């Protein structure tokens, strides 16, 4: 069964540095999402992406964040000038669409644990 994959599994960075988190979506799943989960807290929506455009974003997704699909397959989340409070698990999720309608179900990747020191 195809799965969403994410790299790296763990990223340690210094405050103020830039990080890029990568996601390889399930083939033919055209809708992409990023969520984050701070330790002990809720999973929170960051951004959704379809057809090379952001379709929705949350208040968390400010100018510090950006997303792109640089090569038509990978899907990246860039965090510029990381802060201590950016430490969290970052999950990529995929949603499929079929000709019969739109599927709502989102499938999550294994996540990247980001630690900002």
Smallest gap, in angstroms, from Cβ of residue 60 to other proteins? 11
Contacts 24+ apart (CB under 8 A), 49-57: 49/75, 55/31
**Coil, helix or strand for 4?**
coil
By the rule CB under 8 A, 13 interacts with other proteins = no
By the rule CB under 8 A, 54 interacts with other proteins = no
What is the rounded distance in angstroms from the CA atom of residue 63 to the CA atom of residue 37? 19
Contact segment (CB under 8 A) with other proteins among 17-25, 67-75, 78-86, 102-110 equals 102-110
By the rule CB under 8 A, 48 interacts with other proteins = yes
Asked if 24 and 3 count as a contact pair (C-beta separation under 8 A), the reply is: no
Summarize as ranges the residues that interact with other proteins (CB under 8 A). Answer: 31, 33, 35, 41-45, 48, 55-56, 58, 89, 91, 95, 104-111
């Amino acid at each position: 069964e195809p799965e969403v994959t994410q790299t790296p599994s763990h990223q340690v960075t210094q405050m103020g540095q830039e990080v890029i988190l990568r996601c390889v979506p399930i083939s033919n799943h055209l809708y992409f999402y990023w969520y984050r989960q701070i330790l002990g807290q809720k999973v929170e929506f960051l951004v959704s992406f379809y057809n090379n455009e952001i379709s929705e974003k949350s208040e968390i997704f400010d100018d510090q964040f950006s997303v792109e699909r640089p090569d038509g397959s990978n899907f990246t989340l860039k965090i510029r000038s990381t802060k201590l409070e950016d430490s969290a698990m970052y999950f990529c999720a995929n949603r499929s669409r079929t000709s019969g309608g739109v599927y709502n179900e989102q499938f999550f990747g294994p996540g990247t644990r980001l630690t900002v020191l």
